[in-house]
Amino acid sequence: MDKLYERTFLEGEIIFKEGETGEEIYLIDKGEVKIFKDIEGIEKTLAILKEGEVFGEMSVLDGKPRSASARATKDTILRIMNREALIEYIRQNPFMEYLINTLIERLRMADEQIKFLSIKPEEVRLLSFLKWASSTSHFPCDTTKISLFTGLSEKRIKELLAKYKSSSFVKEKNGLIEEIDEKKLEDYKNSLLKEKNIL
């Protein structure tokens, strides 16, 4: 507890933004915090946290950028611990370090699933996933993995992929989607959004 220090955030003040490097973990001493993501230009609330709850731990523990943003929804007092102090504390117990890293990986997976499941219409959701997956370790991927992230049935995914392959912006080999043409995909997605009066 002697590693913690306090900071006050006023109502509406951003605590951290998605994509930033995470150097601190936060405990709400008083107030309320909203965790949210910007999805296709729309702010989506993931959680409303209250006194006694902890947040910001994933980025601090695995060194990856913040997966969401945080904002004080009322005047809030936070108790904060920096990354170095937290990592030192966890490494005193190797099993705890392994357990936490495993949980963090699962939470990040859940974050991505939430992000894609909130995108509508479903075809835009699939296109958004394919673009994201092509730049991560989730490529190449099969219809089972795509279904897990997007919530679409494998039958529907196969129908859409067949259309994309005929348009030459998705390439498949041995049942795996292993390459996409990002420009063609983005152009098609934008035309689809205009057609549905979303843009």
Q: What residue spans define the domains of the chain?
A: 5-115, 119-195
Note the CATH number of domain 119-195. Answer: 1.10.10.10
Nearest one of 131, 24, 2 to 87, comparing CA atoms: 24
Bigger pLDDT: 93 or 7?
7
pLDDT single digits (tens) 84-117: 888 787 778 778 777 777 777 777 777 777 778 7
pTM of the model: 0.56
Burial 144-156 (b: 16+ CB within 10 A, else e): ebbbebbebeeee
Whether residue 199 has pLDDT greater than 70: no
- Domain 5-115, architecture per CATH: Sandwich (2.60)
CATH topology agreement for domains 5-115 and 119-195: no
When pLDDT is averaged across residues 185-189 and rounded to a whole number, the result is: 87
